[in-house]
Chain A
Amino acid sequence: MPQRMQLGDAKAAEIKAVSIGKTFGAFRALKDLSLDIGRGEFLTLLGPSGSGKTTFLMILAGFTAPSEGRLMMDGRDITDVPAEDRSYGMVFQGYALFPHLTVEQNIAFPLKVRGRSAADIKRRVGEMVERVGLIGHEKKLPTKLSGGQQQRVALARALAFEPSVLLLDEPFSALDKNLREMMQEEVKRLHQETGTTFVFVTHDQSEALALSSRVAIFNHGELLQVGRPQDVYERPSNRFVAEFLGEINLLPLDALRLDGDRAAGQFEDRTIVLARTKPQIGPKAVAAVRPEHMTIAAAPNNAGHNAIACRVEDATYLGAVTRYHLKTRTGASIAVSMPTVATPPFAHRADVWVSWPIEQGFLLPHQT
């Protein structure tokens, strides 16, 4: 069998999506998506179900053709190249292992397709089995393996032919929490070892933050924001991103004044000072603060901090952190999480002050 030249077989690739759109009948699954995926990066596509993230992954893989826009790889237009010739590695939801083939036959499949020699295949399969820790399971059928082991076979099979891009579609959704964390470590390690470009789809925000070099957040077929985990978490550009990435307190502000890179507004009887994220913000805006950036104390901290008066409604002990639920004077809810060791116990219904450093809060438009 002649060696087939495949796009995916080059070293880590760089992908550029230009104004990609996809419609299914009357439904617009993706709208005008432009995104650069860097060589060797670990990009996560994050969003709720139906947000377009999986559609975009399928377009990257070549299983779905975009309705508009172009897809470029290393400067070449690959929009019309079919999946079998792109030949990226892919790990499917539910793994999609070949149920009639053993572990080693599954891993050998893409190598056989490429017409590699028997000796070459044997060597490479051995390497992959060792790399994902499946020694001793080579002759087993997938049904005889645990979920985590099947996951490892899927990873080994997808990486066996050294693809320049590895696509992962919610690979850990079927695993329990401990196993999921183990596999996350494993995928991170494989990314570092192979240097391949990874594109990972998930709806789990903590997974996205833990794994990625960059996160792309989707909602209703639109790409809302792309950035490093700390950028999207600490400086979300809109309310959807802010709320999707984790719990956040949103305080409506009145009498908003913009002053250089700071903004100030009125909340109840206090002036709240914030960092500005976007210059073009309407007259109505909200102050956004993550619960872990707030602290509770008996007196207001005024040095470089904002402070509002609250009453403790409820405290929940969660081990490392304790979560407080508080109400402001006008009845707005505030959530604060503080390290348990640093927290003196606050009595139920106690009057307290919630403070946070000025640079930790940011301004978001009022609408989502």
Chain B
Amino acid sequence: MGKSATSRTILLLAPLLLFLGLAYVVPFLGVVRWSVTLPEPGLGQYRAVLTDPLVQSVFIRTLRICLIVTAAVLAMAYAIAYVWVRGTPTQRMLAEFCILVPFWISVLTRAFGWLALLSNRGLINTWLQAAGIISEPLALARNEFGVIVGMTHFLIPFAVFPIASAMRAIDERVLLAARGMGASRSRIFWSVFVPLTYGGLIGAALIVFVFALGFFVTPAILGGGRSVMVAELVYLRIFQSPDWGLGAAISVVLVLFIGILLALMRRFIKPAHLVG
């Protein structure tokens, strides 16, 4: 790239860089300052992050939820991507509809939608009780299960795109070659098709995991305050207690952790592969 091309790129990116600088970097530097100055200067809040049993339990719960959600999302997104890429034209259209429509609906609407289905007096419990299958409502929402369902549903499209992109890149002749050598359908799938999509799977896993780490709205609504995740904990520390320093320190730790994951992602896959 020539010098003028480089400066033109910078010029084109300038509005975004300026916006990110003013709206994210500067305020975040303020958060970093709080974490080492409130209530007194020093690294006391970081010691608290590492030792406070409440913070610890929230971090562990967050990691557990993120891992379960990532696994569930990958399994379902793989199946959907497979139909989307290799199905009949009708199946492809249906898959595309199922991927894109939820993608366009806001996270808030979707969380409340799940609440309407899963809560104690929601559709599922009402129907099951009316049908006489259960007498007491099942605990489907306001707990970790509800949070996992809502987050999984929200994140599936983000995993479908990179996985589908990897599937599309597979040379059809490679699969034909395997068939021609006498390989069964399941062998072709497990020893040729799936290994050729590992790149897409790793990318999808990282995207989903990183997104899930910072989830706020879905756990707040579907967890009902009983299944607090890290982002909600930060919110509670800053808005509902005077303990700004701890909230700030947790934020900084979270951002660092996500930064490390993104750096790993860059090492394994090219960004262009993630958008399909």
Contact = CB atoms under 8 A, between A and B. Distances in A.
Q: Is this pair of chains taken from one and the same complex?
A: yes
Contacts of A109: 178, 181, 183, 191
A281 to B, nearest CB: 44
Given A98-B192, A99-B196, A90 B183 contact: no
A88 B181 CA distance: 7
Interface string B140-178: 000000000000000000000000000000010110111
Given A4-B182, A99-B196, A113-B181, A63 B174 contact: no
Nearest to A106: B177
Contacts, number: 66
Interface in A69-97: 83-90, 92-94, 96-97
Contacts of A4: 182
Interface in B179-233: 179-184, 187, 191-192, 195-196, 198
A110 interface: yes
A161 interface: yes
Nearest to A110: B181
B177 A113 contact: no
Nearest to B199: A100
A83 B183 contact: no
A58 to B, nearest CB: 9
Interface residues of A, number: 28
Interface residues of B, number: 18
Residue with the highest number of chain B CB atoms closer than 10 Å, among A61, A62, A85, A96: A96
A230 to B, nearest CB: 33
Nearest to B183: A113
B174 to A, nearest CB: 5
Given A63-B176, A90-B177, A96 B182 contact: no
Contact of A88 (B171, B174, B180, B187): B180
A63 B171 contact: no
A122 interface: no
Given A84-B184, A113-B187, A96 B174 contact: yes
Contacts of A173: none
B179 A98 contact: no
B181 to A, nearest CB: 4
A305 interface: no
B182 A84 contact: yes
Contacts of B195: 100
Nearest to B169: A99
Contacts of A161: 181-182
B177 A63 contact: no
B182 A97 contact: no
A6 interface: yes
Given A99-B174, A100-B195, A6 B180 contact: no
Given A63-B179, A83-B179, A98 B184 contact: no
A17 to B, nearest CB: 18
Contacts of A98: 174, 177-178, 192
Contacts of B173: 92-94, 96
Interface string A98-131: 1110000000011001100000000000000000
B174 A84 contact: no
5 contacts: A62-B180, A83-B180, A84-B179, A110-B182, A110-B183
Interface of A: 4, 6, 8, 61-63, 83-90, 92-94, 96-100, 109-110, 113-114, 157, 161
Given A96-B173, A109-B183, 9 more contacts: A63-B176, A83-B180, A84-B179, A87-B180, A87-B181, A89-B181, A96-B171, A98-B174, A161-B181
